[in-house]
Structure 1
Amino acid sequence: MKRILKSAAWEKWPLDIVAIAFFISISSYILSTTFNWGSWGIIIGAAGSASCGFSWLLARALFKPDFPKDAWPIYVVALLVTTGVLIDAFATKRAETGILFTGIRMAASLHTLLSSAVLLLAPLEAWSNYSKDFPLSEKRFRLVYSSIYGGLMAISVIWLSGVSDNSWADRSSDTIKLLCAGIVILLNVWGWRYRKKHLHPKAKRKQRVLTDVTEDEQVLSQRILEQLNTQKLFLKHDLKLSGFANALGESDHNVRNCITGLLGFRNFNHMINHYRIEVAKSMLNSEASKDISILVIAFDCGFSSIGPFNRAFKEETGENPTSYRNKRLQDKN
């Protein structure tokens, strides 16, 4: 699992990977509910049975800036898949006694419990790191997402579980659930597209009380700022936390704690990108640099490619580099 979380694909496209997994899972749920797939039904049913988990995982990817670093939600979804396989594989067993039957019943109970828990957590993810300082568009996005998702959950889980036997709702429960699943797909397509265009807003960190700051931390923070402001170490393309710490003669742990504590950045990359974007903003504001391409500016600021530069720039300023440059140059003219 650690190898997956540290893989290049996971670090670059965690939202895309989780979104694809969700769409495959919920499509499997719809297919397994609609058609009889014979021997393939076990695989399709197991993938579909974890759709609640993948939907929750996608909600975390949409609303948590540090989502790729969390491993435990993936274990929860893996457990949902495992119990789903067991339930589907032994669904035809008729024996009602014995260790096998007891184990399947336990797996089914665990599967139901986990599915219910993640269904409840998914709409709540929109508010887990909410800040009043978020842009209005972000606030609306979170409100609409959680409201629609919560409404669908209320219909497909709470309401349908309480309807009378042989009532219209009871006879149509499968159809209602399929309609809700279809709406969830549309909701998450919209959420996916929104997050691709609007990166996670920067939630303000809670500042540490000054009395908690040690003298060593104050000294280290000044040394870090000196490396950034004077030595311009952030302009190195391949700069990593370990290399930065080595330049300071400090451990990775001490430097990381100072960056995320006293200096108030989310992580090392956030700090480095902040300083790189400040240089980029200066170049984009300058008449002398108006003929320099965005790609060259990205390289000059320490980025190795245009994609990470565009994402970091938009996160920092709310605009892409081209529109930022055009607006500033137009104002000057």
Structure 2
Amino acid sequence: MEGLLRKNGLADFWAGASALLAKRAAPKLGPVAPCDILWWIFTASVALSVAADYAGDVGAPMTYIFAIGGSAGCGWLWLLSRTLFRAEKPIERWNILAIAAIIAVESYWHIAGVPSGSGELRRIAANAASLICIGAVVLVFVEVLSGYSAALPKHERRFRQLFALIFGAMIAVTFLWAMNANETSIGAQWAESTLIVSAAVAVIGARLAVSFRKRHPLPARSARKASPAPAASDENLARRILRAIEEEQRFATPDLKIADLAASLGEQDYKVTQCITGFLGYRNFNQFINARRIDYAKDLLSDPAHDGRPILSIAFDCGFNSIGPFNRAFKSHVGMTPREFRNAAAA
């Protein structure tokens, strides 16, 4: 059964799914974002790595293509995670140099026919490749958790939590259960199938993460004011503000004023203002409220259950009094009009 699934089932499924996903994920118009480029490179690396196991004996050119192109899969995923979770300078020169070094080490390890007498060198390269992969996996978690705090919007916190959960589960299954399993164990019998499924999950999950980030871009740090280390009281007030705005949806109140929010929290106006512009890092109260309103609007516009609702009705639900201010605020935050965003989400 294992051989049948591996040779005739999962391998064919992987090839067909990869081609279909690549066709649908191709950008339609406009410049290609760095995260899209890195996703394509990561997908190609994973596909070549999987294909090498089924290619059998091939000539020298294909051997080198499989060895070099299929290397640094974990490294490319690390670079992709940097573009997803870093607003400024996600890719620096040392990142590219690190990837080049990873490809060199892993390629040397994969290429067969190493000259005789270099067995010790190949063993060192194999150990280095394993260490590099583990390091890249750790760096992915570092990128996901960097900047994580209660001050982040709810959808951003959930995105990071889901990314870490799925990625961690995939690593646990492949590294802890399937790889190097005893030959008589279930893990060894299903090892290759598990690796193929994990590769497909990694590619598809990475595509979904890229799509989410393009709909919910990270705010640039330059737009946030530099401030000293916050006091515990500031963090506590920030949590209360976010709870009132998000969980109680006070952002949906039309013409909401800073005095109204401060009164509901039992705080003075200036303290709430200082927390929003200092600890939370927004320019003013209006920018803070509009950011929450637009996040909620994006959720409604991308929800198929609300496809038939007029955009004006959604604007009212988000706290806007008319369609004009809603359109301007939405385009300022998202880069497109609400109608264009709804069409893009439906596509």
The TM-score with structure 2 as length reference comes to: 0.55
In the alignment, the residues of structure 1 paired with residue 94 and residue 335 of structure 2 have an alpha-carbon distance, to the nearest angstrom, of 34
In the alignment, the residues of structure 1 paired with residue 55 and residue 37 of structure 2 have an alpha-carbon distance, to the nearest angstrom, of 27
> 1:145 maps to what in 2?
163
Q: For 2:38, which of 12, 15, 18 is the aligned residue?
A: 18
Deviation at 1:94, TM superposition (A): 6.8
Deviation at 1:25, TM superposition (A): 0.9
> 1:38 maps to what in 2?
59
In the alignment, the residues of structure 1 paired with residue 73 and residue 36 of structure 2 have an alpha-carbon distance, to the nearest angstrom, of 16
CA contact under 8 A between 1:43 and 1:85: conserved in structure 2? no
| Equivalent position amino acid for 2:103 in 1 | V
Q: For 1:207, which of 227, 231, 238 is the aligned residue?
A: 227
Deviation at 1:26, TM superposition (A): 1.1
| Equivalent position amino acid for 2:217 in 1 | L
Q: Is residue 77 from structure 1 mapped to residue 95 from structure 2 by the alignment? A: no
Distance 1:205 1:148, change over 3 A: farther
Structure number with greater CO (CA < 8 Å, separation at least 6) is: 2
Q: 1:184-203 residue pairs with structure 2 within 5 A?
A: 184-201=202-219
Q: 1:85-234 residue pairs with structure 2 within 5 A?
A: 85-89=107-111, 91-93=112-114, 95=116, 97=117, 100-161=118-179, 163-201=181-219, 207-208=227-228
Structure 2 gap segments, 5+ residues each: 1-30, 230-277, 291-319, 340-347
Deviation at 1:207, TM superposition (A): 0.9
Deviates more, 1:75-84 or 1:143-152: 75-84
The TM-score with structure 1 as length reference comes to: 0.57
> 2:76 maps to what in 1?
54
In the alignment, the residues of structure 2 paired with residue 147 and residue 206 of structure 1 have an alpha-carbon distance, to the nearest angstrom, of 32
Deviation at 1:59, TM superposition (A): 1.2
SS in 2 for 1:133: coil
CA contact under 8 A between 1:123 and 1:145: conserved in structure 2? no
In the alignment, the residues of structure 1 paired with residue 169 and residue 35 of structure 2 have an alpha-carbon distance, to the nearest angstrom, of 24
Over the aligned positions, Cα root-mean-square deviation in angstroms equals: 3.9
Distance 1:44 1:60, change over 3 A: same
In the alignment, the residues of structure 2 paired with residue 34 and residue 168 of structure 1 have an alpha-carbon distance, to the nearest angstrom, of 21
> 2:303 maps to what in 1?
none
SS in 1 for 2:195: helix
CA contact under 8 A between 1:123 and 1:147: conserved in structure 2? no
CA contact under 8 A between 2:151 and 2:280: conserved in structure 1? no
In the alignment, the residues of structure 2 paired with residue 198 and residue 13 of structure 1 have an alpha-carbon distance, to the nearest angstrom, of 14
In the alignment, the residues of structure 2 paired with residue 158 and residue 124 of structure 1 have an alpha-carbon distance, to the nearest angstrom, of 20
SS in 1 for 2:199: helix
Distance 1:265 1:14, change over 3 A: farther
| Equivalent position amino acid for 1:31 in 2 | A
SS in 2 for 1:44: helix
User: Paired residues, what number?
Assistant: 225
SS in 2 for 1:140: helix
Identity among equivalent pairs (%)? 23
In the alignment, the residues of structure 2 paired with residue 22 and residue 172 of structure 1 have an alpha-carbon distance, to the nearest angstrom, of 24
